[in-house]
């Protein structure tokens, strides 16, 4: 068996790991359950608009991500210039919560991060392929997808879905080793927040000094509201608001009808911005993220204990920081270890 790596998930962590191994020995195969790449750092297109409806931008953090983003090519890369302001449970908006750190996205959307990383590798990316179980025999791993097709053998496997979904994969792993149960329990223990995102398109401008508002006290039904018109190439005219509802609201209403969700989001946006025109968007879109944001890091020892068997994990939940750059750093670290 030649050196080979299977990556489950084509999000920021999986793309970063593949990128780190681009000049190394392992043949890399990526399995992604969706049609797109970059996970929650996702972009959609509609009626001439592009919008980042999950993670809204990439920050450099304190590690290698700043240099990495620039190395991917600065064509179409933009730093959102307008600041992020804050609001409280009463809807009182105040300046603040901004820094000198860049807030990067691309004209073509934040999904460019994974697309550009993968474009610099020889990794084979199998989209719309949902891996449902793993098996280890001897020194080799095999993976089975939802259609019953078996893939492998692989020397190493990297699991990058959100922790609850990774825990499900570990529960469906056929490997007679006591370390597996401990790793699964550690991954399953990572707490997560759910987020419902409502996208509201308007044919008129919504002029404000800020790019986005973030709730600071956890006492409002909205957690985050952003103006996509602040990103070059995203909104040709008028405005498009990305309204991410607060975790408690999202958990309570994640299964409601999408039209009901966007109606409520428009009501809250109109009240927060003091603009009744926002009650009547030209069109809307929604996305529910049941496992959106980790609130803690996985216990490192149990997942480190299975690495010598070629079983690895990566993601923002490994780093313990719900940021795109944290997921990228986690993937790069796994790539370094496998190298």
CATH of the domain at 30: 3.50.50.60
CB–CB of 245/198 below 8 Å? yes
The whole-chain average pLDDT of the chain stands at 95
Phi then psi for 142, rounded to 5 degrees?
-125, 150
Tens digits of per-residue pLDDT, 26-43?
Answer: 799 999 999 999 999 999
pLDDT the model gives residue 2? 63
CATH number of the CATH domain containing 218: 3.90.660.10
pLDDT the model gives residue 24? 79
| Residues 105 and 51 reside in one and the same domain | yes
| Residues 132 and 243 reside in one and the same domain | no
First to last CA, the chain: 17
Tens digits of per-residue pLDDT, 133-181?
Answer: 999 999 999 999 999 999 999 999 999 999 999 999 999 999 999 999 9
Report how many domains make up the chain.
2
| Residues 10 and 118 reside in one and the same domain | yes
pLDDT level of residue 97 (50, 70, 90 thresholds): low
| Residues 215 and 314 reside in one and the same domain | no
| Residues 163 and 198 reside in one and the same domain | no
| Residues 183 and 325 reside in one and the same domain | yes
pLDDT level of residue 100 (50, 70, 90 thresholds): confident
| Residues 100 and 233 reside in one and the same domain | yes
For 91-121, letters b (16+ CB in 10 Å) and e give: bebeeeeeeeebbbbbebbbbbbbbbbbeeb
| Residues 151 and 286 reside in one and the same domain | no
* Residue 152: closest CA among 161, 139, 163, 143: 143
CA distances to 32, 35, 229, 230, 240 from 205, in Å: 37, 32, 9, 11, 9
* Predicted TM-score of the model (pTM): 0.95
pLDDT level of residue 220 (50, 70, 90 thresholds): very high
CB–CB of 169/131 below 8 Å? yes
| Residues 202 and 177 reside in one and the same domain | no
| Residues 266 and 248 reside in one and the same domain | yes
* Residue 112: closest CA among 41, 7, 170, 182: 41
Cα 39 from Cα 31, distance rounded (Å): 12
pLDDT the model gives residue 98? 65
pLDDT level of residue 339 (50, 70, 90 thresholds): confident
DSSP structural state of residue 135: E
Which of these three, 258, 274, 294, is where a domain ends?
Answer: 294
- Domain coverage including residue 32: 4-41+114-190+296-338
pLDDT level of residue 307 (50, 70, 90 thresholds): very high
**Tokens 């996702």 appear where?**
42
| Residues 133 and 279 reside in one and the same domain | no
In this prediction, residues 96-104 reach a mean pLDDT of: 82
In this prediction, residues 64-85 reach a mean pLDDT of: 94
| Residues 31 and 122 reside in one and the same domain | yes
pLDDT level of residue 3 (50, 70, 90 thresholds): confident
Which of these three, 294, 309, 326, is where a domain ends?
Answer: 294
Cα 298 from Cα 317, distance rounded (Å): 6
Asked whether the predicted pLDDT for residue 312 surpasses 60, the reply is yes
pLDDT the model gives residue 96? 83
């Amino acid at each position: 068996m030649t050196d080979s790596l299977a990556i489950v998930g084509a999000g920021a962590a999986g793309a970063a790991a593949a990128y780190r191994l681009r000049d190394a020995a392992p043949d890399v195969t990526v399995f992604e359950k969706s049609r797109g790449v970059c996970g929650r750092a996702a972009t959609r297109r509609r009626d001439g608009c592009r919008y980042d409806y999950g993670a809204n931008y990439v920050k450099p953090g304190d590690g290698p991500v700043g240099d990495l983003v620039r190395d991917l090519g600065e064509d179409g890369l933009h730093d959102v210039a307008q600041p992020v302001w804050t609001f409280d449970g009463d809807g009182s908006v105040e300046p603040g919560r901004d820094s000198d750190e860049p807030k990067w996205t691309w004209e073509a959307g934040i999904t460019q991060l994974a697309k550009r990383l993968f474009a610099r590798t020889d990794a084979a990316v199998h989209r719309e392929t949902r891996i449902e179980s793993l098996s280890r025999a001897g020194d080799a791993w095999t993976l089975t997808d939802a259609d019953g097709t078996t893939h492998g053998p692989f020397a190493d496997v990297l699991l990058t879905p959100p922790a609850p979904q990774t825990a499900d994969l570990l529960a469906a792993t056929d490997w007679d080793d006591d370390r597996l149960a401990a790793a699964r329990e550690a991954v399953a223990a990572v707490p997560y927040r759910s987020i419902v995102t409502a996208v509201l398109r308007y044919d008129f401008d919504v002029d404000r000094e800020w790019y986005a508002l973030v709730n600071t006290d956890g006492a409002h039904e909205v957690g985050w509201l952003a103006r996509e018109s602040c990103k070059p190439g995203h909104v040709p005219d008028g405005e498009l608001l990305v309204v991410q509802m607060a975790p408690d609201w999202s958990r309570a209403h994640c299964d409601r009808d999408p039209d009901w969700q966007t109606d409520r989001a428009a009501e809250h946006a109109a009240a927060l911005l003091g603009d009744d025109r926002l009650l009547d968007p030209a069109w809307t879109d929604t996305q529910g993220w049941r496992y959106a944001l980790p609130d803690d890091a996985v216990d490192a020892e149990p997942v480190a204990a299975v690495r010598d068997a070629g079983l690895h994990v990566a993601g923002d939940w490994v780093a313990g920081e719900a940021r795109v750059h944290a997921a990228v750093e986690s993937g790069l670290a796994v790539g370094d270890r496998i190298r």
